[in-house]
Structure 1
Amino acid sequence: MKVIIIDDEKAMHLIMKRMLAKVTDLELVGSFSETAAAYSYVMNHEVDLIFVDISMPRENGLEFAQRVRENGRETKIVFITSHKEYALFAFDVYAFDYIVKPVVQERLHKTIQRAFAEKQSEKLLDAKQDPTFNEVKFYCLGGIDIQSTEGVRVKWKSSKSAELFGYLLLHKGRLVSRARLIEDMFGDMPQKNAEIYLNTTVYQLRKVLETYGLKENLHSDNNHYALSLNDVRVDILSFEEGYRKMPVVDESNIEQAIELEQLYTGDLFGDRAFSWAWNEVERLSLMYTSFTQRLCVALLNRGETNAAIRLLMKLITHNELDEESIMLLMKALSLQKNKEALTQRYMQYAETLHKEIGIEPSHEAADLYSQLLSELNS
């Protein structure tokens, strides 16, 4: 595994190099005292893990991480800092871990071993894929996409062809009448124009599916249409099936739960706002929130506080008024003994509630905050 260090303190470089030298199968490929040179290196070389200090001159570690993420890099980033209060901001840029100085060998070793484990899992997953089998996947979480294992990615003929695909996909192979399609998708057009537009859109979608050898999956007669999902993997179906199979998340299934959470890459259809899909968008979003909260409880029980915080920040970004997520985050910050972040998060939640809907936090949330604060002050 290839690693780089970014820290403006020379002493920290020596300490980290000494510690990393004790880890087998790890190669320190770069050591930088500022982020500009480090960023250039990361953009042009293979790097698996970055250890970066947050308090840096000119550009701090958080700003550096944000630039890396904006460039599309998913390199694992571990923040090493003397300041606990940066933890929340670190998880905003999907930090892999957050280590408070002074760094000890055992703590560093745990982080590296977890990175090794994740990389090995990714290799096994890649090895299981048969390159000779052109598997097709339909994606509706976070957007609308079709991909094959041969690398063919969808090029929609029009926005309506993508919408028709999403509409029929949600019906999971069931027949949908032309009249209903016209009403839901082309209701603002004169009837004759809508019928012509529907015919054109069906043709466009059939041509798209033909690219993947799925032309026959679009069934039609004079009055109905249906999209067969046979021999295709669909992200929302996989997510719903996994959700049903895991009513409880605990030590026995937590790894599968983590994989399932990662499948939910965004709300149904992403930024595409289809009025006919609003109920399904809300249903799946609530399902994801409920599941991820159960996963966070299991992670906290397991002692993986950082992982739980990362997921809770993701939930709160999605819905900053969700009280259960806020309360779980407060518990996680309390476990980290991070009083400053706990206070900041609760005050921010109370301010947002008051500003957006003119109410105060519930008695349950207020009591929890007081209790956690009292425990940290004792």
Structure 2
Amino acid sequence: MKVILIDDEKAMHLIMNRMLAKVSDVEIVGSFWETATAFSYLMNHEVDVAFVDINMPRENGLEFAGRLRESGVETKLVFITSHKEYALFAYDVYAFDYIVKPVVQERLHKTIQRALGENRSKHLIQAKRESTLQNVKFSCLGGIDIQSTEGVRAKWKSSKSAELFGYLLIQKGRLVSRARLIEEMFGDMAQKNAEIYLNTTVYKLRKVLEAFGLKESLHSDSSHYALSINQVKVDFLSFEEGCRDMSMIDETNIEQAMELEQLYVGDLFGDHAFAWAWNEVERLSLMYTSFAQRLSAALLNRGDTNTAVRLLTKLMAHNELDEESFMLLMRALALQENKEALTRQYLQYAETLHKEIGMEPSREAADLYAQLLSDELES
């Protein structure tokens, strides 16, 4: 069990170290003389129990505990003080225990054993949860979500924790520096506030991942973070890999291609307009457009015009100015011998072009429309 000490008196550090050394299964992972550094540590590390002195300068133990609870940290807090009158206030901030100085070995031992017992129960529950949540999927096309095959979905603690998840996910397991995260996600804040906010956001993301047995997938050290994706399926990575594997679409893989197209339910992160993600959103959008156009052409070659029209209509909704998609749609409507829809589509496209960018359809598009209309009239 990992514990830390927070006390402004050197003597108490010596006493607690000596007494805790006599208790098995306890590891002191940090000793702090004030609350600021202890708070930062707890936001980035898992600690089972914090022994906290109440009477400290600048910020006392109770104020520190209140701030910790507001940030969502659930580390067990054991207050150590010379004053019994603080006991009721201590339990207001969900204290695990309250020990009055001088600390007695037997009393400390009971507190530790009770904490160890609760930890064992927690680990058993966690192990059971992990065994039932083996298949987890990260979904970022059309939104941001985490889902298990058992129907469990992420309950985001804050919008920033979802954003941090997306940011780390597109790094594909690579380390990202704290400085870069602060600049790109919290750049509009003062440096000190940004650092605190990042710590809080990391903690909240860990709690979300913990619900899926993936708490350890978020790696961190003093200056870097990374999200491991080895244990999960990631929709946009599966889509990207599938597109690379199907540079050509024909009768041998057209059904597989249609299944892959269904993965792209929307642009990366959906309506979340993250400035740091624009390049990646655009890259995947262009990849989808190219893939869907190749699939549409293969469907037309097969003679499945109805499916091709549905897909091309979806493509035009995705990017209403894309000329290649528009020309494929005109060909598909002509093959359906749907003169009315062909004319309506051309006029709508011309109107959109003029309204959005002040241009007319290209000569190639206009000539194709005229040719298809003429062929339709002759038939």
TM-score computed with the length of structure 1 as normaliser: 0.65
Aligned to 1:231: 231
Measure how far apart 1:133 and its partner are. 6.2
Number of aligned residue pairs: 248
* SS in structure 1 at match of 2:225: strand
- Kindly indicate whether residue 284 of structure 2 is the aligned counterpart of residue 284 of structure 1: yes
In the alignment, what sits opposite 2:31?
Answer: none
Q: Deviations over 1:158-210 (max 9, x none)?
A: 00000000000000100000000000000000000000000000000001111
8 Å Cα contact 2:133-2:213 kept in structure 1:
no
- Alpha-carbon contact 2:177-2:223 (below 8 Å) kept: yes
Matching residue of 1:297: 297
Judged with a 3 Å threshold, the aligned counterparts in structure 2 of structure 1 residues 175 and 132 are, in CA distance, closer, same or farther, namely closer
Hey, what does 2:215 align to over in structure 1?
215
Q: Could you tell me which residue of structure 2 aligns to residue 154 of structure 1?
A: 154
Aligned equivalent of 1:345:
345
| Match in the other structure for 1:259 | 259
1:352 Cα deviation from its structure 2 partner: 1.2
In the TM superposition, what whole-angstrom CA distance separates every residue of 1:71-120 from its partner, at most 9, and x where no partner exists?
xxxxxxxxxxxxxxxxxxxxxxxxxxxxxxxxxxxxxxxxxxxxxxxxxx
Q: Distance in 1 between matches of 2:293 and 2:185?
A: 35
Greater than 3 Å deviation, 4+ residue runs = none
**Where do 1:67-86 residues align within 5 Å?**
none
Map of 1:329 onto structure 2: 329
Q: Which residue of 1 aligns with 2:125?
A: none
Distance in 2, matches of 1:323 and 1:366, equals: 11
Task: Show the counterpart of 2:163.
Answer: 163
TM-aligned CA deviation for residue 132 of structure 1: 6.0
**Secondary structure, aligned partner of 1:147:** strand
Could you say what secondary structure the match of 2:360 adopts? coil
Aligned position for 2:318: 318
Structure 2 residue runs of 5 or longer lacking an equivalent are 1-130
In the alignment, the residues of structure 2 paired with residue 133 and residue 357 of structure 1 have an alpha-carbon distance, to the nearest angstrom, of 50
Q: Larger C-alpha radius of gyration, 1 or 2?
A: 2
Counterpart position of 2:360: 360
Which one-letter code corresponds to 2:211 in the other structure? T
SS in structure 2 at match of 1:226: strand
Q: Determine the C-alpha separation between the residues in 2 that align with 1:154 and 1:355.
A: 41
Q: Name the aligned partner's letter for residue 247 of structure 1.
A: S
Aligned partner of 1:179 in structure 2 is: 179
Q: Distance in 2 between matches of 1:268 and 1:357?
A: 25
Matched, 1:200 2:165: no
1:377 aligns with 2:377: yes
Length-normalised TM-score, structure 2: 0.65
Please state whether the residue corresponding to 1:219 is helix, strand or coil: strand
Q: Would you say the 8 A contact 1:333–1:342 is kept in 2?
A: yes
Tell me if the contact between 1:175 and 1:224 (Cα under 8 Å) persists in the aligned partners: yes
Whole-Å separation in 2 of the counterparts to 1:315 and 1:157: 34
Shift of 1:374: 0.8
Match of 2:111 in 1: none
Matched-pair contact (CA < 8 Å) for 1:239–1:263: yes
Report the Cα offset of residue 150 of structure 1.
1.5
Residue 275 (structure 1) aligned with residue 312 (structure 2): no
How far did 1:348 drift? 1.0
